[in-house]
Amino acid sequence: MRTCLSVVALLVGVSVATAEEIRGQYVEARTCDVWVGACFANAEMHQTGKLGTLAWHIEKGSWDGVALDGLSVVAVVEARDTLGLKQSGSGRAVIIVDERANARQREALVKMARKLGGILTQEVVRVDTAPIFISVSRCPEGGCALVEAGVVRIETRCIHPDEDSVCGHEDNFYAPLTPGVHARSAMVTEHSFTGAGLDKTWKDANRRGAYIGTFSLDN
């Protein structure tokens, strides 16, 4: 019995030891509202909201055995359907990796973005490197974030229900686009992509279309 228990304990120990945890800051912006009433959201469905940006800053952790502490990666996506709805096909993505990453880290960051982006990052049309800055501020209202990654910029502020409401019964209509995210919705004051690789570039503003917060998962 003691031998069996020892073997079980050893196996559990190996399982825990081989699990890779990764965590950090997360920012997401879309060209449709996420804090919105159904009446407004229904008008956007299938018409707009097919473009977005997903940004991860890794505070601690690894992917495929490669340490990524302090690095960042951004995925700019172009979807078939409004983001948050079931997709009728794979999306197209431009991935921007932190210029400080070495070759193995760049490969791991791309794999991470493709995995977490799911169908939205299934077809990567371009991989670029750039200096990346991602900050989720602990300002009193909790809605401040800034992402700068070469051809990408996102800036947000807190949503003020009295000022930013349209229908009068808004809520978080869509969930965040990637797993392991703990975030709150925010107002986008700027969301732009001016790079190459996708069919469109854009500069969007004054939209209730962001999620900001943290991510944490085992891989």
Q: What are 19-69's pLDDT values in tens digits?
A: 689 999 999 999 999 987 666 666 677 667 799 999 999 999 999 999 999
Q: Kindly give the pairing relationship between strand 207-218 and strand 152-157.
A: unpaired
Is the per-residue pLDDT at 16 higher than 50? no
Q: What is the pLDDT of residues 132-187, one digit of tens each?
A: 999 998 666 667 999 999 999 999 999 887 777 776 677 788 999 999 999 999 99
Distance in angstroms (rounded) separating the CA atoms of residues 18 and 4: 21
β-bridge mates for residue 203, sequence order: 192
- Rounded CA separation 122/80 (Å): 12
Yes or no: say if 199 and 94 are a contact pair by the CB < 8 Å rule: no
**pLDDT value at 7 more than 70:** no
* Count of residues in the chain: 219
Asked if residues 165 and 185 have their Cβ atoms less than 8 Å apart, the reply is no
Question: For the whole model, what pTM was predicted?
Answer: 0.88
Instruction: Give the amino acid at 179.
Output: P
Domain boundaries of the chain, sorted by first residue: 22-218
**Closest to 71 in 3D by CA, of 19, 29, 113:** 113
> What's the pLDDT score for residue 12?
45
